[in-house]
Structure 1
Amino acid sequence: MKISKVLTAYATQDGDGVNIRRIPGFDGKYLDPFLMIDELKSDDKSDYMGGFPAHPHRGIETFTYILKGGFVHQDQMGNKEAIRAGDVQWMSTGKGVMHSEMPLADEIDGLHGFQIWINMPSDEKMREPRYQDTTKNPVPSFTNDQGVTLKALAGNWQFADQLLKAGLQSLAASAALADVHIPTEKSIQLAPLAQQKVMIYVHSGSISTSDGQSFTTGKLITLEPNSDISLKSKEGAGVLILAGQPLNQPIAHMGPFVMSTQDEIKQAVSDFQNGEFGKI
Structure 2
Amino acid sequence: MSLRPVLETRNAMPTIEGAGVKLHRAFGFQDPSELDPFLLFDDFRNERPEDFQKGFPWHPHRGIETITYVLSGTVDHTDSLGNSGTLGAGDVQWMTAGSGIMHQEMPNGNTAGQMHGFQLWGNLPSAQKMTAPRYQDVASKEIPEVIDDDGTRVRVIVGEFWGKRGPVDGIAADPQYLDVFVPAGVKKTFKIDTYRRAFAYVFEGQAAFSDASVPQGVLLEKEVAGEELQIRDMSGDRTLVRFGSGDEVTVMAGPEGVRFLLISGAPIDEPVAWHGPIVMNTQAELQKAFAELRNGSFIRPAH
TM-score (norm 1): 0.92
- Aligned residues of 1:68 and 1:109 also touching (Cα < 8 A): no
Render the CA deviation track for 1:169-203: whole Å, top value 9, x for unaligned.
Answer: 21122122111012222232212335420111111
Matching residue's letter, 1:217: D
> 1 CA distance for matches of 2:121 and 2:132?
18
- Aligned counterpart in structure 2 of residue 16 of structure 1, from 6, 19, 26: 19
| Cα deviation, residue 209, structure 1 | 2.9
Indicate conservation of the 8 Å contact 1:26/1:251, yes or no. no
AA of the residue aligned to 2:288 = Q
> Cα deviations across residues 47-92 of structure 1 (Å, max 9, x unaligned)?
1111101110000001100111110111111221110111110001
- Measured after TM superposition, the shift of residue 12 of structure 1 is 0.4
Residue 116 of structure 1 and its aligned partner are, at CA, apart by 0.5
- 1: distance between equivalents of 2:207 and 2:252? 5
Which of 145, 151, 160 in structure 1 is aligned with 2:149?
145
Matches within 5 A, 1:14-93: 14-22=17-25, 23-24=27-28, 26-93=30-97
Determine the structure 2 residue equivalent to 1:226: 246
User: Structure 2 vs 1, CA of residues 175 and 236 (structure 1 numbering), >3 Å: closer, same or farther?
Assistant: same
- How does 1:187-206 map onto structure 2 within 5 Å? 187-206=187-206
Aligned ranges for residues 171-182 of structure 1 at < 5 Å?
171-182=171-182
**SS of residue in 1 equivalent to 2:53:** coil
2:171 paired with 1:168: no
Q: Say if 2:291 is the partner of 1:270.
A: yes
Q: Distance in 2 between the 1:262 and 1:19 partners?
A: 30
1:215 aligned residue (235, 252, 256):
235
Which has the larger displacement, 70-79 or 19-28? 19-28
Asked whether the 8 Å contact 1:18–1:51 carries over to 2, the reply is yes
Aligned residue in 1 for 2:266: 245
Runs of 4+ in 1 over 4 A off after TM superposition: none
- Same amino acid, percent of matched pairs: 34
Q: SS at 1:217's partner residue?
A: coil
Please say which of residues 103-112 and 250-259 is displaced more in the overlay.
Answer: 103-112
Consecutive unaligned residues of structure 1, counting only runs of 5 or more, are none
Deviation at 1:137, TM superposition (A): 5.5
Q: In structure 1, what is the Cα distance between the partners aligned to 2:113 and 2:259?
A: 19
Shift of 1:8: 2.6
1:184 maps to what in 2? 184
- Specify the alignment match of 1:132 in structure 2: 136
Write out per-residue CA displacement over residues 202-229 of structure 1, whole angstroms, 9 at most, x where no aligned residue: 1111111344231112221121222411
Given residue 270 of structure 2, which amino acid in structure 1 is its aligned partner? Q
Structure 1 partner of 2:229: none
RMSD: 1.8
> Do the aligned partners of 2:146 and 2:153 also contact (CA within 8 Å) in 1?
yes
Offset at 1:111? 0.9
Which consecutive residues of structure 2, in runs of 5 or more, have no partner in the other structure?
Answer: 220-232
- Contact 2:72 2:110 survives alignment (8 Å): no
Higher mean alpha-carbon deviation, 189-198 vs 120-129, is at 189-198
**Residue 266 and residue 157 in structure 1: after superposition, are their counterparts in 2 closer, same or farther (change >3 A)?**
same
Aligned AA for 2:209?
T
Bigger Rg, which one: 2
Which letter maps to 2:245?
Answer: P
